Amino acid sequence: MDEVLKTAKHVAAKSQAVALDKEALIRFCRKRLQQGIKVPPWDDRYHFCGGKEETVAYLLVLDSLNFCFWPPLGSLRWEIEDELGKLSGYYALATSLKRAVESGVPITEAEYLAELSLDQIKQILGGQGVLQLLEDRLKILHELGHVLLEDYGGKAHHLVETAEGSAVKLARLLAEKLSSFRDTADYQDHKAFFYKRAQIFAADLHGAFGGKDWGHFADIDKLTAFADYKLPQVLRQLGILRYTRALAQKVDQKILLESGGPEEVEIRANTIWAVELIRQELDRMGKGLRAFEIDQILWHLGQEAVFKKKPYHRTATIFY
């Protein structure tokens, strides 16, 4: 998306607390090529995959709630028990919603979302530990249900149809219609665009449907990285992102960064721009990958212990 990439480049050039190490970036690209690059496939173990229209609705609910899985200091991480073992974070969310759909809870129906209660969402998600911003999650589902009812006949796939096979148009449409997808920030008198969850919805449709049907987008290559807290953690461990001492101390001591504050915006923007530079470098090396595929590779690396040596930055936000 042009607005996301352009503002990420602008913020990266102006950043004071975050810097990009291009030599480390090149080393990473060379090493990955030597080891062999494989894009992680869509994993149906954690995701609902049923009727086509119902799957679209499931994914929209999933990506509406796909944010902030880390626990407040002193609290236990939210996790669930599943036949796959103990799951936390995104996998716990995807699996909880999958189980709800398969057990007949109508979370794919707009009418149900619009009237959902706090007790009901707690029961749907279940598990142990603390999942932050639960009341915000409820408001998001209420808004989603009402917008679908008012503008799209209550059907998520009608919203997707409005994008006319464009991932970019779909992301912009979500940001226009739903406040929780309006992921922007002000930085030095300029607006920075991120659209993390709006973009990831298009990518998830692409993954779930194998690039066909509801997942076919002619401009899927225009998506950028999805700026969250796991990717910068990985990029920092790789030496690609470098923080000033003051910022590094805040992140390492798990001090909350202000949502929309300059340090948080710089981390997210530099993450997007770093992935774009990785994409360009790999292309020069003869390996053509799309930004969202590089994002998936980095995110899966972030599940490995070696990339968890240093903490991720913490911002209490609904956007990631």
- Give the model confidence (pLDDT) of 2-51 as tens digits: 999 999 999 999 999 999 999 999 999 999 999 999 999 999 999 999 88
- Dihedrals phi, psi of 92, to nearest 5 degrees: -65, -40
Q: How confident is the model at residue 181 (pLDDT cuts 50, 70, 90)?
A: very high
**Residue of 228, 252, 283, 295 marked active site:** 228
Question: What residues have CB less than 8 Å from 233, skipping those under 6 apart?
Answer: 302, 307, 308, 310, 311, 312, 313
- At residue 155, the pLDDT reads 98
pTM (global) more than 0.85? yes
Q: Determine the average pLDDT of the residues in 73-85.
A: 94
The answer to whether 179 touches 165, Cβ cutoff 8 Å, is: no
Given a contact cutoff of 8 angstroms between Cβ atoms, the answer to whether 261 and 225 are in contact is no
Q: Quick one: three-class SS letters along 248-271?
A: HHHHHCCCCCCCCCHHHHHHHHHH
8 A C-beta contact, residue 175 and residue 198: yes
Round to whole Å and give the CA distance between 311 and 236: 10
134 Cβ partners below 8 Å, 6+ apart? 118, 121, 122
**For residues 143 and 301, what is the distance between their CA atoms, to the nearest angstrom?**
34
Residue 92: the pLDDT is: 98
H-state helical runs in 15-51: 22-35
Whole-number pLDDT of residue 274: 98
**Helical H runs in the chain?**
2-14, 22-35, 52-64, 89-102, 110-115, 118-125, 134-151, 156-162, 167-177, 196-208, 230-237, 245-252, 262-284, 291-301
- Indicate whether 67 pLDDT > 90: yes
- Predicted confidence at residue 121, as pLDDT, reads 98
Residue 220 half-sphere exposure, CB side, CA atoms within 13 Å? 21
> Can you tell me the distance from the alpha carbon of 82 to that of 46, in angstroms, rounded to the nearest whole number?
10
Residue 314 has which token pair? 């913490």
Q: Which amino acid is at 248?
A: A
277: confidence class by pLDDT, cuts 50, 70, 90: very high
Residue 141 CB: number of other CB atoms within 10 A?
24
pLDDT attached to residue 156? 98
pLDDT mean across residues, the chain: 97
Give the pLDDT score at 295.
98
pLDDT value at 249 more than 90: yes
Dihedral angle computed from the Cα positions of residues 303, 2, 20 and 190, in that order, rounded to the nearest 10 degrees: -110
Q: What pLDDT does 51 receive?
A: 85
Annotated catalytic, 228? yes
